[in-house]
Amino acid sequence: MIDIIALIKEKEAEFSKSQKKIAEYVSQNIEKAAYMTAFKLSEKTGVSEATVVRFAEKLGFDGYPEFQKTVLSYAKGKLTSLQRIELAYEKIGDGNVLGSVLKSDIMHIEKTLENINMEQFEYAANSISSAKRIYIMGVRSAAALAEFAGFYLHLIFDNIRLIKSTGGDDLFEQIMNIEKGDVFIGISFPRYSKNTIKALEYAKRSGATVIGITDSENSPVAHICDCCLLAECDTTSFVDSLTAPISLVNALVAQVGLKNRERVHKNFERLEKIWDEYEVYDKK
């Protein structure tokens, strides 16, 4: 992940007087600047919008959108829970919370679909389908995504390993035998889990195919993986918006299912008989 604050400090001597104003504001208000348009940032700092764009270019970005995307990734990975809550309330206000949250989730799904790399998506589905063993890891809020993926992939394959991280030293015991031919799926969204990053690095060094599911190409997860699937994610109050990530996981499992139709058909034929025999579901 690009350390935008360090980059600004490094280039400080090259800035004009107006650009120094922008640099100071961004450095001191990174969490607010992340959500500002070039026009809004120019208003806040009292400089022209063109100066804001030139500032982004001075830092080495192709334009303001790329700069803002990097600032947003950096901010999301660094914000404390309290800062995230304050920002979210500022965005939602006292208006229609239900409408704001649902509209935001719809926008995240649309952006995810618009930006998804289909080659990477296919690569991930093919790698999972041909893997000897499939390890899946996500901690904290991402644990729900890992559980969801693990539950449905287990209905297709019997080689699923769901990694549970308790925060202790047992992580590497669970993945110590990972090797070439295996797949490791690491799921992490801001604030990024160090344990997930460590596990991904270990799996990569051990020769496994490493698939990341995260929010940005600037995420620390993205730089480790053979294949990275990106889903839009933002915070709503103290709640991480995981609607787009779970839709992406859902789509990935569905794609893997299509590639293994015969196996899926056989497994579910057998499961339906078991469910009926042991009255798993209420049929009244």
Residue at which a domain ends, from 54, 78, 102: 78
Residue 186: what pLDDT? 97
User: How many structural domains does the chain have?
Assistant: 2
Tell whether 37 and 125 lie within a shared domain: no
Residue 154: what pLDDT? 97
Tell whether 143 and 229 lie within a shared domain: yes
Which residues does residue 161 pair with via DSSP β-bridges, in sequence order? 135
Give the model confidence (pLDDT) of 110-153 as tens digits.
999 999 999 999 999 999 999 999 999 999 889 999 999 999 99
Tell whether 258 and 182 lie within a shared domain: yes
Residue at which a domain ends, from 78, 100, 133: 78
Q: What residues make up the domain containing 14?
A: 4-78
Tell whether 121 and 193 lie within a shared domain: yes
Residue 204: what pLDDT? 97
Amino acid at 234: D
Q: Are 168 and 194 in contact (CB under 8 A)?
A: no
Amino acid at 213: I
CATH number for the domain harbouring residue 198:
3.40.50.10490
pLDDT beyond 80 at 80: no
175 token code pair: 């993945």
In 79-214, where does DSSP find H-type helix? 81-92, 97-115, 118-130, 143-154, 171-175, 194-205
Residue at which a domain ends, from 56, 78, 100: 78
113 token code pair: 């679909």
Could you tell me how many helices (H) and strands (E) the chain has, helices first? 14, 7
Length of the chain: 284
Give the model confidence (pLDDT) of 52-75 as tens digits.
999 999 999 999 999 988 888 777
CATH number for the domain harbouring residue 50:
1.10.10.10
Residue 23: what pLDDT? 94
Tell whether 45 and 118 lie within a shared domain: no
Q: Is residue 250 part of a domain?
A: yes
Tell whether 38 and 160 lie within a shared domain: no
Amino acid at 5: I
234 token code pair: 């933002």
Q: Is residue 94 part of a domain?
A: no
Residue 132: what pLDDT? 98
Outline where DSSP puts E strands in the chain: 134-138, 160-163, 183-187, 209-214, 227-230, 234-236, 239-241
Q: Is residue 88 part of a domain?
A: no
Give the model confidence (pLDDT) of 148-179 as tens digits.
999 999 999 999 999 987 666 688 999 999 99
Q: Crossing angle, helix 17-28 and helix 49-58, to 10 degrees?
A: 80
Task: Tell me how far apart the alpha carbons of residues 196 and 235 are, in angstroms, rounded to a whole number.
Answer: 20
Q: Is residue 55 part of a domain?
A: yes
Task: Tell me how far apart the alpha carbons of residues 201 and 32 are, in angstroms, rounded to a whole number.
Answer: 32
What pTM was estimated for this model as a whole? 0.76
Residue 234: what pLDDT? 73
